[in-house]
């Protein structure tokens, strides 16, 4: 019971913070009432790699697309998502820099995936979404979903019966 009260208090406190953060001059989650604040992973504490594997309805390989670098929200919410939603982490050293590495794998069916426009369009923007409740952003219920981490890849062509697997690797400098 005490845990529920503490958790609810923390969540409600963070909702207030997120709802007014676009007034922070570009340092919050939201750039303004309509757009999320994004920063490049180049020269940041973050490294990203995304591999997309597309297979047809018979399981035959159609394509493999990869990209490194991307964007993140330059806010503590990125650390929170990395800590809470990526699961097991491992420590790796790259060029004498220590990172925490986490991986997330999503296998999706083209017909069931909520594409912003249509699966028939070439897909090149991929994001790991997180939803939160705010007073000033989002839908009628105040729910705003945003890509906390995102990558732009070369165009990926999808057919109606394809499945695709997103292999995310995100590293945070320790």
Tens digits of residue pLDDT in 45-99: 999 999 999 999 999 999 999 999 899 999 888 998 899 888 899 999 999 999 9
Reply yes or no on whether the pLDDT at 4 is more than 80: no
Instruction: State the residue range of the domain holding 70.
Output: 2-173
- Of 108, 43, 98, 51, the C-alpha closest to 72 is 43
pTM of the prediction? Answer: 0.75
pLDDT band with cut points at 50, 70 and 90 for residue 169: very high
- Whether the CB-CB separation of 123 and 117 falls below 8 Å is answered with no
Backbone angles phi, psi at 22, to 5 degrees: -70, -10
Reply yes or no on whether the pLDDT at 19 is more than 90: no
- Cα–Cα distance measured from residue 90 to residue 99, given in angstroms and rounded to the nearest whole number: 8
Reply yes or no on whether the pLDDT at 144 is more than 90: no
Say which residue, 2 or 30, is predicted with more confidence. 30
Reply yes or no on whether the pLDDT at 21 is more than 60: no
Q: Tally the domains of the chain.
A: 1
> How much is the pLDDT for 10?
44
Reply yes or no on whether the pLDDT at 28 is more than 70: no
- Cα–Cα distance measured from residue 69 to residue 91, given in angstroms and rounded to the nearest whole number: 19
> How much is the pLDDT for 141?
58
pLDDT band with cut points at 50, 70 and 90 for residue 29: confident
Say which residue, 62 or 29, is predicted with more confidence. 62
């Amino acid at each position: 019971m005490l845990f529920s009260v503490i958790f609810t208090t923390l969540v409600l406190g963070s909702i207030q913070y997120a709802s007014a953060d676009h007034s922070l001059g570009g340092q919050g989650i939201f750039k303004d009432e309509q757009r999320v604040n994004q920063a490049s992973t180049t020269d940041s504490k973050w490294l990203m790699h995304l591999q997309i594997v597309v297979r047809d309805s018979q399981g035959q390989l159609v394509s493999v697309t990869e990209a490194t670098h991307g964007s993140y929200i330059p806010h503590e919410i990125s650390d929170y998502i990395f800590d809470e939603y990526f699961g097991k982490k491992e420590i790796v050293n790259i060029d004498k820099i220590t990172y925490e590495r986490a991986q997330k794998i999503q296998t999706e069916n083209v017909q069931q995936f909520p594409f912003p426009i249509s699966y028939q369009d070439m897909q090149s923007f991929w994001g790991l979404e997180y939803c939160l409740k705010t007073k000033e952003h989002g839908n009628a219920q105040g729910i705003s979903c945003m890509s906390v981490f995102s990558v732009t890849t070369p165009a990926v062509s999808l057919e109606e019966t394809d499945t695709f697997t997103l292999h995310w690797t995100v590293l945070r400098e320790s």
